[in-house]
Amino acid sequence: MPDWDQVYTERSVEESKPVDVLADNKYLLTGAGRALDYASGLGGNSIMLATMGFDVVAYDLSSVAVDKLNNYAEHENKSIHAEVRDLELSPLQCQQQFDVVVVSYFLHRQTLPLLYDCLKKEGLLFYQTFSGKQYDSQGPSNPDFRLKRNELLEVFGNMELIFYREDPEITGQVGALPGQVQFIAKK
């Protein structure tokens, strides 16, 4: 497992980008309300959401990433409030607080159902992470940190599915995302 503080020491907030499933589907967002960037890293999702008018809460394990994101938010006058939180050891207790929840490249199966609880009625969940087997050294090699085929569809089967894409294999096609899942659903 990487030392996330070390990883983020070498990177800047300015180079962080929102995850594709969020950026490509931003037309679904109203631009108002509260958003949660779950396992935010350096906050590419947070920055995009705050720029659209959301009040963003960002959680990450890395104090380096959180400090950098809070400094950026203060300097750029963005409504982002980042906090250090071990999302595996300190599960969320946020009953219907968020209009949007975004998860990118993080998987902890035991706490997945809590994401649903955090959403307000009509709230949107955007999720993109690794699945299946590893391709081109992308993502974790440990299968415990990769989704099984159709797993998000099963876990969030009580939500209205808006978008789902799972590219389980390398196809050679432009735009393919082998070993990744993109998911959007409404509570």
Q: What are the pLDDT digits (tens) for 164-175?
A: 998 766 555 555
Band (36; pLDDT cuts 50, 70, 90) = very high
Give the angle 127-22-112 at the CA atoms, nearest 5°.
Answer: 15
Q: Dihedral sign, CA of 59, 126, 25, 129?
A: positive
Directed axis angle between helix 44-51 and helix 63-76, to 10°? 20
Task: Report strand pairing: 119-130 vs 98-104.
Answer: parallel
pLDDT at residue 160 tops 90: yes
Q: Is 175 or 25 the better-scoring residue by pLDDT?
A: 25
Give the angle 78-35-24 at the CA atoms, nearest 5°.
Answer: 90
Q: What's the confidence (pLDDT) of residue 85? A: 94
Task: Please give the average per-residue pLDDT across 81-99, as a whole number.
Answer: 90
Band (176; pLDDT cuts 50, 70, 90) = low
pLDDT at residue 183 tops 90: yes
Q: What's the confidence (pLDDT) of residue 132? A: 67
- Summary mean pLDDT of the chain: 89
Residue bearing tokens 């497992």: 1
Q: What's the confidence (pLDDT) of residue 7? A: 84
41-45, 117-121, 126-130, 174-178: least confident range: 174-178
Task: Please give the average per-residue pLDDT across 147-156, as a whole number.
Answer: 89
